[in-house]
Amino acid sequence: MAVTPSQRIDVLKTYKLFIGGAFPRSESGRVYSVKDSKGNHLANPSLASRKDLRDAVVAARSAFPAWSAATAYNRGQILYRMAEMLEGRSEQLVTEIIALEGVTVKSATEQVQESVDLLVWYAGWSDKIATIAGSTNPVSGPYYNFSTPEPIGVVAIFAAAKPSLLNFVGALAGVITSGNTAIIVASEKYPLPAITFSEIMATSDLPAGVVNVLTGSATELVPWAASHMDIDAIDASGLTSKQLKEAQLAGVANLKRIRVHTQSKAPERILNYMETKTVWHPIGI
């Protein structure tokens, strides 16, 4: 017998991590309570550990060869597919953003729409960034010489807090459109849209491990990410100046490229995680 709407108990979501295409809980078994804008308990997402981070790095490194070798057209279509999926899930994300950030329906809706459009913008860059940032170089001699940007490898992202979805999507899309793989640590206070967005990524033909999402404490994860020898770069936009300095010091171990961004929509979001390769070849018969 069906229950009436007033009798029905909601089925709540368990917010888990997203590593290697799967949704595991933290190996540590830890969770933390996320509050809504009024201070009421909302959910118990995972409090990711050092081991979770290391697992995420393994997944990201394993995914790098195939993702960076995929055609730019293919990567662009997958980012566009993510935009399609996000559009369809808008309502759920609007609800989460309102609950967490305490913004109006209008503002939350605009944030989701802007996030969709930002994904479309970055999708379009995948097969254009090398045209804009690359060059043929007129060297003085019988050589053909060209420079082209290549993805740097594995990037750890500490996403900035509010607007939570827009910051998350903007940081992520810029990093992966060029062929990098990523570990993204969601905002500690506003992590739910990141996990819901992981469900979008899981259904967008994005290969497993290209993006790995951790929730928890940036303060706890910064030293491990910054000293990890298989992470090539860090987007530190979500870190405090104290955490940034800590990351810079630990990052010296393998001379990580550590960047801070103030805009979600900027080609630097892509180019800062690319390396320029220059190739020389003689011309002759």
Q: What are the residues binding another protein (CB under 8 A)? A: 132-133, 135, 137-141, 143, 145, 147, 152, 232, 241, 244-245, 248-249, 251-255, 257, 268, 275-282
Q: Other C-beta atoms within 10 Å of 222: how many?
A: 24
Which helix (H) or strand (E) segment is 211 a member of?
strand 211-214
Residue at token pair 């993805």: 151
- Tell me whether residue 95 or residue 145 sits nearer to another protein (CB atom): 145
- Tell me whether residue 9 or residue 255 sits nearer to another protein (CB atom): 255
Rounded to a whole number of angstroms, the minimum distance from the CB of residue 215 to another protein is 27
- Tell me whether residue 39 or residue 284 sits nearer to another protein (CB atom): 284
Rounded to a whole number of angstroms, the minimum distance from the CB of residue 94 to another protein is 31
Rounded to a whole number of angstroms, the minimum distance from the CB of residue 248 to another protein is 4
Question: Which residue(s) pair with 233 in the sheet?
Answer: 155, 257
Structure tokens at 147: 């420079």
- Tell me whether residue 81 or residue 256 sits nearer to another protein (CB atom): 256
- Tell me whether residue 25 or residue 257 sits nearer to another protein (CB atom): 257
Rounded to a whole number of angstroms, the minimum distance from the CB of residue 237 to another protein is 16
Q: Are 281 and 144 in contact (CB under 8 A)?
A: yes
Amino acid at 254: N
Rounded to a whole number of angstroms, the minimum distance from the CB of residue 140 to another protein is 6
What is the three-state SS of 146-202?
A: EEEEEECCEEEEECCCCCHHHHHHHHHHHHHCCCCEEEEECCCCCCHHHHHHHHHHC
Amino acid at 257: R
- Tell me whether residue 14 or residue 136 sits nearer to another protein (CB atom): 136
Angle between helices 105-125 and 90-101 (to 10 degrees): 120
- Tell me whether residue 27 or residue 150 sits nearer to another protein (CB atom): 150
Structure tokens at 150: 């290549």
Rounded to a whole number of angstroms, the minimum distance from the CB of residue 112 to another protein is 26
To the nearest 10°, report the CA torsion of 196, 274, 223, 96. Answer: -20
Structure tokens at 169: 């999507």
Give me the helices (H) in 30-150, please: 50-69, 72-88, 90-101, 105-125, 129-133
Q: Are 231 and 63 in contact (CB under 8 A)?
A: no
- Tell me whether residue 133 or residue 202 sits nearer to another protein (CB atom): 133
Rounded to a whole number of angstroms, the minimum distance from the CB of residue 255 to another protein is 5
Rounded to a whole number of angstroms, the minimum distance from the CB of residue 281 to another protein is 4
